[in-house]
Amino acid sequence: MRVFDKLTKVVKDKGAGFIILIDPDRKNDKKLETLVENANRSGVDAIFVGGSLMMDGKFHERVAKIKALSNVPIIFFSGGANQLNEHYDAILFMSLLSGRNPQYLIGEQVVSAPIISDLKIETIPTGYLLLDGGGKSTVGFMSASHPIPLNRTDITEAHALAAQYLGMKLVYLEAGSGAQTPVPTETIQTLSEKVDIPLIVGGGIRTPEDAEKRVRSGASFIVTGTVLETSDNSSLMQELASAIHVKE
Ligand code: 1GP
């Protein structure tokens, strides 16, 4: 079954999907094994792998390691064409629609396309919207793009509709990794009423309560990264999974 169909089935069966983000950067070198093994037994539905900035040259090795250890699909959370390799089961083929920087709207995608075709990786077209969750996000800086203010649901809605009309399969509402404030439930509620494609919500989600509220407001997928890299609570992943899988 294709990865996108598996994800769709997760939403149907469990109410929403739980995806963890692993940044294959040097800062996570010693945590990869623990994170992936924990994901295998905690009800995680998929692993996003990628990031806006890699601080050494070992990320391809780390992606291979994640793939070898994982029981769930590994999806490339594209930080740029240079991070492509054969270890991904699918790629979120994203366009940073909230920005006006052509490199991230279409440039990286054109460079990536022939490589993806050669490697035969499934693509999941995704409209990526960066909202201002507070703190300067790496993605905002690296892409030289202005995030959408959190209180401008009208602007977010217009972008999400544009993603749908462009034929994208998902909309990613991103408050930025490590955001002080996650995407507000009101925004998710409004968008889920107006937009027909599933919403992925991530950035600054730290507790099972934060996650569950966003699912109940209409998010189809919740992504957490930072809190799992930094928390000492080894059962947090399991608690997040139970909170997100509202139908189980
Ligand atoms: C970032 O949405 C993801 O792209 C996850 O954010 O690291 O804040 O959980 P956090």
Model confidence pLDDT, tens digit, residues 90-114: 999 999 999 999 999 999 999 999 9
| CA 139 to ligand 1 centroid distance, Å | 11
Checking if the pLDDT of 84 tops 90, the result is yes
**pLDDT band at residue 248 using 50, 70 and 90 as cut-offs:** confident
Cα separation, 2 vs 200, in Å, equals 18
Two tokens at 186? 């009101």
What is the spatial distance between Cα 92 and Cα 223, in angstroms, rounded to a whole number? 13
- Most ligand 1 atoms within 8 A of CB, residue of 31, 138, 205 to mutate: 205
Ligand 1, from 18, 25, 174, 180: best to mutate by most atoms within 8 Å of Cβ?
A: 174
Residue 174 Cα to ligand 1 midpoint, Å, equals 7
Q: How confident is the model at residue 2 (pLDDT cuts 50, 70, 90)?
A: very high
Ligand 1 center to 237 CA (angstroms): 14
Query: Atom 1 of ligand 1 has which residue's CA nearest to it?
Result: 177
Give the pTM.
Answer: 0.97
Nearest to 14 by CA among 39, 37, 46: 46
What is the tens place of the pLDDT at every residue in 14-30?
Answer: 999 999 999 999 989 99
Looking from the CA of residue 174, the nearest atom of ligand 1 is 2
Q: Which regions of 38-140 does DSSP assign to beta strands (E)?
A: 46-49, 74-77, 90-96, 122-130
- First-to-last CA distance in the chain? 22
| Calpha distance 91→95 (Å, rounded) | 12
Distance (Å, whole) CA 61 – CA 87: 10
